[in-house]
Structure formats: C-alpha cells, structure tokens
Amino acid sequence: MKVYLDNAATTPMAKEVIDVMTEVMATTFGNPSSTHSFGRDAKSIIENARRTIGKYIHAEPKEIIFTSGGTEADNMAIICAVRDLGVKHIISSKIEHHAVEHSLDNVKDNLACKISHVKLDEKGNVNLDHLEELLSNSEDKVLVSLMHANNEIGTLLPLKEVGELCRKYKAYFHSDTVQTLSHYPINLEVLNVDFITCAAHKFHGPKGVGFLYKNKNIPMKPLIEGGAQERGMRGGTENISGIVGLTKAIELANVDMDEHISKVQALKSYMINELESKVGGVDIIGETDSDKSLYTVLNVFFPKFAKQDMLLFMLDLEGIACSGGSACTAGANAGSHVLKGINADATRQNVRFSFSRYTTKEEIDFTIQKIVKIINS
C-alpha cells in the first residue's frame, strides 16, 4: 500500500480538472491577446474563468489577477505595496511562508522598508494586542502581512479581527491564503482584506497557476512587465489550460464544502487519537481546537527513540509520503523557521501529515501501524 499524506505540499489533480484542461489544450490554442476568432475564443475562456472565481470569493472579476501561483502573488502584493502605495513599514510574523518572508527581506534591503514582527504564542497564534500596539505606534504607511493558516503547523489567523484592526489604523492588509482558499468559504465582501493569494495545486488543481486578489480601489503597477495582459497588471501570455484547471478545481471544492471539511476533520481527529493511544508520548504542534486549526494539517512531535532522525526516511521506505515541514525548504539543513519562531523543541523529530478529500481511514490505519513498527524496531 502507498499512502500520500503530504497534501499541504501539493495535491493530486482531480480527474475532472485533467479532463477540462485536456479539452482546452486540444481545442483552444489561440493567443488571448489576438483579435481574430481564435484569440477571442481564448480570451472568452479566461474572462469567464475570472467571473466564476470572483463569484466564489465574492469579488469582482477585475479584482482577480492570474499568476504563476501563490509565490508570485505574494511577491506582487508585498513589493508593489511598497513601491506603489507608499508603504514604509510592514508588520508580519516570524512563521510566514518563505514567499512572504523572502519578499520582506527584499523590500527591507532594496526599498528601505521597515519590518516588524508581531508576537506569537507557543501555538503560533498572533498576539492581537501587540499587533494593535505596533499599528498604533507606527507613523508610516503600514502593510500587515499575515497568513490565514500556517502551512507547517496549521494555526489559523482570525482574518476578520485582523482586518478590522487594519481598517481602524488605515493599514493595508495582505493575507497569504494559499492553504485555505477553496478549503474554507471566503467572502471578501465582509472581510477587510486588500490582497489574498491562491495556488491551484493546493486543492487538486494544476501546478504553475494561481491568482492575486487585489481590491479594486487600490492603484498598482504590474510586477512583471512586457505586455498588457491581465488588464495591464501582468505581462505574459496567459496559461489558458491552467486557468481553466484552476477554475474547475475551485468549482469542485465548493461542492459540499461543509461535508468535505467534516470528513477530513474527522480523519485528523481520528489520527490524533490513534497516535496518542497506540504510540504515546506524542505532542501536537500548534492549535488542536478545530476552530483554530487548519483541518488538513497535523504536525506532531514524536517521543525520542533510537532512530528518530530516520523517521521520515523510514516512513518513505514503508510507502508513506509525509514531511518535516514546508516542501519549499526540503533538503535544507537549517531546520524549520516556523518551529524556531514558536520556540518549539528542536531536539525532537516532528512530522507533518496533511490530508485531502481523497484521504481514507484505511490509509490512516496503515500509517499508524507503520509508525508503531518503526518506533518499536
């Protein structure tokens, strides 16, 4: 048996997504910027996709900018906010994805932007009192950049509360929603968020495509020059088949979303119970309350045993795919910046298990069986 429990890194593409992408690749090859019928057909597909996506997140089509994925979208929001909106101070945290963290380093080093880090508790929760203190004491134009759900430990940010604080102090608000978009309902009509980001491959869509939501009232220039595509906001010929796949994946995710959340949350809770009863000595990293934790992510500290440093490798040999943290830092020797950011125990082996709508109870049982075998060997 082979088990895939690394869905926070990427998810398998849904058959329905592959089907619509294949059809478009076979029948629609025109350049969307061309004025002839082939180009107009391609352009129509993109604009229909934009309208469909906007409907699901309660945004206007013109607020959706298609990108190569979440990393580009995060870079665009942060760099353009400093370059075009007069932002001189960014408030973020020490456990953001590197797409944000490295963009912050960029604007700090090259655009003289001040970076402040909000305090976190041991579970990765943002200290809202400290956030308000930072906002109230800043004399510069501020961008708050905090992710909706941490990709390694799953702790959720209270988007509504943070958005209200940003509005109170007239700050812009960017949230990396790569791990949550199409996993939770998002209504941008009631959330005071100026930028959110999306990567299709996190919810059974294709890699290499996503989008940036930018509030229509925010004037910005493109990050990527070279053409007037995306209503002048991003140069480069659009990835038509990828955009169609992204749209289909969003449509599928919004069918019976509550039922899907309940099913995967039940599997996560079941795995926690099995680990605690059959392995013992484990500690969950991050929040355990389902209202405060991403239902697709479970990060666990295991008890110390003789071969703990080999746990991930040995699980892989048993046919189980999981990770120690973000796939974007796989192979690095520096350790997880997220675990460091919450002062977690660096001497214990942690494993991140992450689930999808295709995960089964049988796969969880198989994984538990192999973990017990490895620890007791």
The residue from 253, 271, 301 where one domain ends is 253
Residues with active-site annotation = 328
Based on the fold, state whether residues 294 and 210 are members of the same structural domain.
Answer: no
Q: Across 236-250, 294-308, 338-352, which has the greatest mean pLDDT?
A: 236-250
The pTM is what? 0.96
Output the domain CATH number for residue 302.
Answer: 3.90.1150.10
User: What's the CATH code of the domain at 111?
Assistant: 3.40.640.10
Tell me: do 20 and 7 sit in the same domain.
no
Q: How many domains is the chain partitioned into structurally?
A: 2
Q: Which domain holds residue 325?
A: 3-12+256-376
> Which residues lie below 8 Å from residue 289, measured CB to CB, with a gap of 6+?
none
Same domain? For 192 and 294 the reply is no
Asked if 88 and 230 sit in the same domain, the reply is yes
Pair 126, 194 in one domain: yes
How far is the C-alpha of 325 from the C-alpha of 304, rounded, in Å? Answer: 18
pLDDT tens-digit readout, 268-293: 999 999 999 999 999 999 999 999 99
pLDDT at 306: 77
pLDDT tens by residue, 137-147: 999 999 999 99
Chain centroid to Cα 17, Å, comes to 20
Q: Are residues 198 and 334 in the same domain?
A: no
Note whether 205 and 70 are same-domain residues: yes
Q: Which of 60-64, 141-145, 213-217, 342-346 has the lowest mean pLDDT?
A: 342-346
Q: Are residues 7 and 84 in the same domain?
A: no
Between the alpha carbon of residue 247 and those of residues 138, 198, 231, the distances in Å are: 40, 11, 19
Q: Stretch 188-209: mean pLDDT, rounded?
A: 98
pLDDT at 94 over 70: yes
What pLDDT score was predicted for residue 70?
98
> Based on the domain organization, do 54 and 8 belong to the same domain?
no
Q: Can you tell me the distance from the alpha carbon of 43 to that of 199, in angstroms, rounded to the nearest whole number? A: 21
> What pLDDT is stored for residue 325 in this prediction?
74
- End residue of a domain, out of 234, 253, 272: 253
| Shared-domain flag, residues 188 and 272 | no
Give the residue-averaged pLDDT of 127-156. 98
202 and 291 in a single domain? The answer is no
Q: Let me know whether 192 and 335 are in one domain.
A: no
Name the residue among 361, 308, 341 with its Cα closest to residue 153. 341
373 CB-contact burial (10 Å; exposed 0-12 / middle 13-18 / buried 19+): exposed
% of the chain with per-residue pLDDT over 90: 93
